Amino acid sequence: MNYFVFFLGVILLLVTATDLINTSLSVRGAGFLTKRLSMSIWNLLLIINKKMGRRKVLEIGGAIILVSILINWLLLIWISASLLFISHPDSLMNVETNSPTTVVNKIFFTGYTLSTLGLGDIEPEGNFWDILTAILSFTGLILISIAITYLIPVVSAEITKRKISVNINTLGGSVEEILLNYWNGKDFKELEQPFIPLIDSIILHAQNHKAYSVLHFFHSSDRKEAFVLNITNLDEVITVLLHNIPKEQQPSFNVLIRLRKAISSYLVTLPATFITPGKKTPPVLILTALENKGIKIISGEMVDLEYDKLRTRRRLLLSLLIDDGWEWTDLNCGSYNHEIIMNETN
């Protein structure tokens, strides 16, 4: 027996099993291999999208990555199991010729057994290889079961994410539009009603995103369903309400803080998909449209200090937009002073 080949197969099998368990049977989001495979495919799609200028490329990204993850697990298990049988020249025998099998025969046998179709004309030779074949057959059955149980909740969670996005978009397609839609002439108290159910919905998505980080790669070109656009707009609305609007005109402070924390519970899951705050600080919203409606806007040094405290958070939101194929300018045309985006190193 070639022990190097045998233990190489064992190590590869253990690594694959660990990645599979961490990805599909835990709440860690993705295993080491799956995480890097997903990001590599997504970065390639982003490059293609920039060159072609067609968001349809990104729309199929989630499906491509999901299928690639499943194929990757299958191939790695197939390769590792094949190495185990290849390590011994007499591990398998051809029933018809009663002779040892070739390397190609062993690879075929491993794939055939993984598919749970049976043994065919090749049979294991010896108790050890009999047991290994039985384990391999169970592994194929388990892999199929895990694939099904992994796909269903991911698709369900993606539907939930799009539902949340549409709910946010019904409030308004931009920060100014949301605020103007809910200005009753005196205050923004009416925003409390739609904000309260959003708290639980966003927390649910945050937990889904933590458990299934592949959700990050499901992109929608429809602005109503584009979650990252609408969640960024919502966070900016909260920022404006907390720091640019007088307290007596704000919705309930408790509701605003709870909603902010709900969004934060989602943002803290982003590093798992390699999204971290960049060096660019997004521009501050110019609230001219609100002032034209007679809404009092607070500005000055104290407000600037509050925005400075939110610099890391807003940089993270910018990174999130860019990683999903959008730009900050896609949030709302004309409402931001895009000349004051700063390249900062701290």
Specify the pLDDT at position 338. 41
Measured CA to CA, the distance from residue 91 to residue 243 in angstroms comes to 72
Please tell me which residue, 110 or 95, carries the higher pLDDT value.
110
> Which two tokens mark 85?
């049988």
Instruction: Provide the mean pLDDT of the chain.
Output: 88
* Cβ atoms of 96 and 118 closer than 8 Å: no
Specify the pLDDT at position 118. 61
Specify the pLDDT at position 26. 75
Specify the pLDDT at position 246. 95
> CA neighbours within 13 Å on the CB side: how many for 225?
11
342 pLDDT higher than 60: no
User: Any idea which of 65-74, 152-161, 286-295, 324-333 has the lowest mean pLDDT?
Assistant: 324-333
Residue holding tokens 């997903």?
A: 38
User: Any idea which of 47-56, 67-76, 270-279 has the lowest mean pLDDT?
Assistant: 47-56
pLDDT, average across residues 157-167? 96
pLDDT band at 127 (very low <50, low <70, confident <90, very high): confident
> Which two tokens mark 67?
């299928």
Specify the pLDDT at position 346. 39
Highest mean pLDDT among 24-33, 46-55, 139-148, 294-303 belongs to 294-303
| CA proximity to 202, closest of 236, 168, 250, 252 | 168
Q: How far is CA 106 from the centre of its chain?
A: 38
305 pLDDT higher than 90: yes
pLDDT band at 117 (very low <50, low <70, confident <90, very high): low
- The predicted-structure confidence for 184-219, as pLDDT tens digits, reads as follows 999 999 999 999 999 999 999 999 999 898 999 999
Please tell me which residue, 321 or 136, carries the higher pLDDT value.
321
* Cβ atoms of 61 and 219 closer than 8 Å: yes
Residue ranges of domains in the chain: 3-148, 155-330
pLDDT band at 126 (very low <50, low <70, confident <90, very high): confident
User: Any idea which of 25-29, 230-234, 304-308 has the lowest mean pLDDT?
Assistant: 25-29
pLDDT, average across residues 243-249? 95
334 contacts: CB under 8 Å, gap ≥ 6: none
Specify the pLDDT at position 141. 81
334 pLDDT higher than 50: no
124 contacts: CB under 8 Å, gap ≥ 6: 91, 92, 93, 130, 132, 133
337 pLDDT higher than 70: no
Please tell me which residue, 29 or 254, carries the higher pLDDT value.
254
Q: C-alpha distances in angstroms, 289 versus 53, 248, 284, 330, 341?
A: 31, 20, 14, 18, 21
Specify the pLDDT at position 339. 41
The amino acid that residue 296 corresponds to is K
Please tell me which residue, 104 or 98, carries the higher pLDDT value.
104
Specify the pLDDT at position 343. 45
pLDDT band at 345 (very low <50, low <70, confident <90, very high): very low
pLDDT, average across residues 112-125? 75
Q: Starting at the edge strand that comes first in sequence, how are the strands of the sheet with 99-100 ordered? A: 99-100, 92-94, 122-124
Query: In the chain, pLDDT over 70 holds for what percent of residues?
Result: 93
Specify the pLDDT at position 11. 94
Specify the pLDDT at position 341. 44
